[in-house]
Structure 1
Amino acid sequence: MNKNSLQSLNKSLIVSCQAPVESPLHDPYVIAAMAKAAVLGGAAAVRIDTPAHITATSQKISAPIIGLWKQQIPGYDVYITPQFTHAEAIAIAGADIIAIDATLRERPNQEQLTTIISRIHQELGKLVMADIDTLEAAIAAANAGADIVGTTLYGYTKETKHLSPPGFQLLAEMVQKLQVPVICEGGISSPEMAKQALKIGAFAVVVGTDITGIDAKLKQYVVAL
């Protein structure tokens, strides 16, 4: 997938197909089935975690896969595809776009954001989606060469933990300030909210929990009842 073919995602729904590690749904076959159902239902792309799940999904669908690999590195808060080695693994697994943590937090082995993005472009031939939490991080990610910037980590970092996604205000500021496509991800819990994100100027909208988050949705019902 190249920058020109990114237009196929414009004004579209991207479905994040993931499950907690402890869940029985955290299985390559199940995740791939979710992804296929999402694409058959009209999603333009899917967002998938781990090489195994990406491999399984790539065998089921031809739609673009935004791949990531959540890895907890001791001493660091960055966890979404934190190092180039993780990006390489998910590229080999079949990801078309590599999602990485692009917050301003310290990175493992002092691997600079510009370096990892450049290596993904040059060595892997893949586009990069930068997951950010603040406008400052978004601008830095775009300047570092990210092809897409998403609001993914808004509300999930120390700097933004007092805020609740979706970050529509952040989205609006990013649309105004950045020259690259901006994706709204996080906290979208209804079709109306997704539509609002597009009205604000989002290039595309990622929805996860509200569509594929069976464990989280079940817990909400159990607590309510």
Structure 2
Amino acid sequence: MGDVLSRLKGKLIVSCQALENEPLYGSGTMAKMAIAAVAGGAVAIRANTPEDIREIKKAVDVPVIGLYKRDYEDSQVYITPTLREAEQIVLAGADIVAADLTHRRRPYNHTSDQFIKEYKRNFPQVPLMADIATVAESINAAELGADLISTTLVGYTQETKHVKEFNPQILKEIVEKTARPVIAEGRIYTPEEAELALEMGAYAIVVGSAITRPLVITERFVAKIQKQGSRVV
């Protein structure tokens, strides 16, 4: 684990993901996106689904943080929600497994505490990244054995829905209170925000939408232009 983590310290990780309703959806496209990201200086890739992970591992020689988004009717947790998804990610060759480890109930009425214990028992050789939304969740995940903490879900849970943009103060507090490397992820749209995240103590930075989702990037530009255009007389 130490070798993988040392490659990430102070560097950029690019999230290469596309949803099924997006034009770039597909493992081949995500592999090409990963190649472009690594050519630009990214030191690792964050990827969704076993298929994408396998294709990206073939395409680039950098660590891959794997996750598997699956929807379950009895839970709001969708980032690697059960051990079954974690196993498929590990078998696909992920160097790190990322999972939602918020306090929300998991499928089958399981808890994040149970997930962490089962994961560490079954896959002790593959580091576990805890995607969290609050300081309390980061502390809990670290105490139970998560190897890294990521701010991925800040702003995306009921408790944090008021957070609409990158919040360096939340990141700073998580870093100060969590005895694990903290990865800054979520709504980081500019190089300046990435730099600020490192100043706040982030171990590394994950950027996704601002780099690899042209549909989302275009929508953001269009929204700003339309807002400004409505003021033009």
In the other structure, the counterpart of 2:62 is 63
Structure 2 CA distance for aligned equivalents of residues 52 and 5 of structure 1: 22
Q: Counterpart amino acid of 1:188?
A: I
Cα deviations by residue, 1:79-107 (Å, 9 ceiling, x for unpaired): 10000000001111121100000100011
Q: What does 1:197-216 align with in structure 2 at a 5 Å threshold?
A: 197-216=197-216
Structure 1 CA distance for aligned equivalents of residues 167 and 102 of structure 2: 15
Cα deviations by residue, 1:50-91 (Å, 9 ceiling, x for unpaired): 111111111101100000011111021111000000000111
In the other structure, the counterpart of 1:193 is 193
Q: What does 1:107-126 align with in structure 2 at a 5 Å threshold?
A: 107-124=106-123, 125-126=125-126
In the other structure, the counterpart of 2:140 is 140
**Divergent runs of 4+, >6 A:** none
Q: Counterpart amino acid of 1:19?
A: A
Which one has a bigger Cα radius of gyration? 2
In the other structure, the counterpart of 2:130 is 130
Structure 2 CA distance for aligned equivalents of residues 84 and 165 of structure 1: 31
Please state how far the C-alpha of 1:201 moved relative to its aligned partner: 0.3
Please state how far the C-alpha of 1:4 moved relative to its aligned partner: 4.4
1:130–1:149 contact (8 Å) kept in structure 2: yes
Secondary structure of 1:183's partner? strand
Cα deviations by residue, 1:95-138 (Å, 9 ceiling, x for unpaired): 11000001000111233323333333342321011000000111
In the other structure, the counterpart of 1:158 is 158
How many pairs were matched up? 224
1:154–1:165 contact (8 Å) kept in structure 2: no
Structure 1 CA distance for aligned equivalents of residues 3 and 109 of structure 2: 32
In the other structure, the counterpart of 2:77 is 78
Structure 2 CA distance for aligned equivalents of residues 95 and 167 of structure 1: 29
Unmatched 5+ residue regions in structure 2? 227-233
Q: Counterpart amino acid of 1:81?
A: T
Unmatched 5+ residue regions in structure 1? none
Q: Counterpart amino acid of 1:64?
A: P
1:3–1:127 contact (8 Å) kept in structure 2: no
Cα deviations by residue, 1:147-206 (Å, 9 ceiling, x for unpaired): 000110000011011112323111101111111100100011111110000011000000
1:120–1:126 contact (8 Å) kept in structure 2: no
Structure 2 CA distance for aligned equivalents of residues 28 and 168 of structure 1: 33
Q: Counterpart amino acid of 2:16?
A: C
Cα deviations by residue, 1:24-54 (Å, 9 ceiling, x for unpaired): 2011000011011111111110100111111
In the other structure, the counterpart of 1:99 is 98
The farther-off stretch of 66-75 and 111-120 is: 111-120
Q: Counterpart amino acid of 2:204?
A: A
Q: What does 1:16-95 align with in structure 2 at a 5 Å threshold?
A: 16-95=15-94
Structure 2 CA distance for aligned equivalents of residues 60 and 118 of structure 1: 33
In the other structure, the counterpart of 2:229 is none
1:131–1:149 contact (8 Å) kept in structure 2: yes
2:105–2:112 contact (8 Å) kept in structure 1: no
In the other structure, the counterpart of 1:171 is 171
1:113–1:144 contact (8 Å) kept in structure 2: no
Structure 2 CA distance for aligned equivalents of residues 167 and 117 of structure 1: 27
Q: Counterpart amino acid of 2:155?
A: G
**Percent identity (aligned):** 43
In the other structure, the counterpart of 2:231 is none
Secondary structure of 2:158's partner? coil
